[in-house]
Amino acid sequence: MFCLQIKALEEKYAHVQKVPEPHANLSEWWTVYDYGFDTVRKWPKHYKPVYPEDRRRERFKVEKAEFKAKRKAARDVFIANEMAGKFLFIFHMTN
């Protein structure tokens, strides 16, 4: 009985065009605000957009890594100069 009802419905609506499922972020107002409703509506269901805050977060991550690398290089130079200065001072004291 149930199978007959399903078959009848399938035959009844066979001419109706199937539409893809909407993207999950269509209901997120920030996404619709950033990209626009028509743009988000055209996204496939499994599309992974790059959001502005993700781009900003990635840029800050790179900038922080560059800052840390410069700071480490400056620290290493300072430590090397300090050690050279102490050894030079100790060398002059012993001679």
In a domain, 9, yes or no: no
Rounded-to-integer distance, Cα 84 and Cα 47, Å: 57
The predicted structure's pLDDT at residue 91 = 54
pLDDT digits (tens, 9 = 90+) for 32-51: 998 999 999 999 999 998 88
The predicted structure's pLDDT at residue 17 = 86
In a domain, 87, yes or no: yes
In a domain, 33, yes or no: yes
Pairwise pLDDT comparison (66 vs 22), residue with the higher score: 66
In a domain, 58, yes or no: yes
Q: What number is the average pLDDT over the span 53-80?
A: 93
In a domain, 17, yes or no: no
In a domain, 47, yes or no: yes
Task: Give φ, ψ of 17 to 5 degrees.
Answer: -70, 135
Domain count, the chain: 1
Q: What range defines the domain where residue 45 resides?
A: 22-94
- Sequence-separated (6 or more) residues with CB below 8 Å from residue 4: none
Q: What is the pTM of this model?
A: 0.52
> What separation in angstroms does the CA of 65 have from each of 42, 56, 59, 76?
37, 14, 10, 16
In a domain, 13, yes or no: no
